[in-house]
């Protein structure tokens, strides 16, 4: 799973190269920030949530690869664990 995460990260950086310099910088900054935040906040044993983030990231990457897309927007999604019912 770690290889998938690194591959996705590299994919975002490659896709950013095809954008204008301003957009490229913005994409690289957002991607770097998101990956760092998730690496600190998400439990490494929470495979279900990590798989969800991978699927969401792959969809965002496909959208970013489109020539019509110049920016990405972050939608914050919180996953609550240890919730009592």
pLDDT in tens, 32-84: 999 999 999 999 999 999 999 999 999 999 998 887 766 666 555 555 555 44
List the one residue out of 6, 16, 20, 18 whose CA is nearest residue 60.
16
pLDDT at 35: 94
Contact between 16 and 28 under an 8 Å Cβ cutoff? The reply is yes
Model's pTM, two decimal places?
0.77
For residues 63 and 79, give the distance between their C-alpha atoms in angstroms, rounded to a whole number: 24
């Amino acid at each position: 799973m770690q290889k998938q995460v690194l591959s996705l990260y590299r994919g975002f950086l490659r896709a950013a190269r095809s954008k204008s310099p301003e957009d490229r910088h913005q994409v690289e900054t957002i991607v770097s920030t998101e990956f760092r935040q998730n690496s600190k906040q998400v439990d490494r044993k929470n495979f279900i949530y990590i798989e969800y983030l991978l699927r969401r990231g792959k969809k965002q990457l496909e959208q970013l690869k489109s020539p019509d897309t110049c920016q990405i927007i972050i939608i914050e999604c919180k996953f609550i664990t240890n919730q009592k019912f």
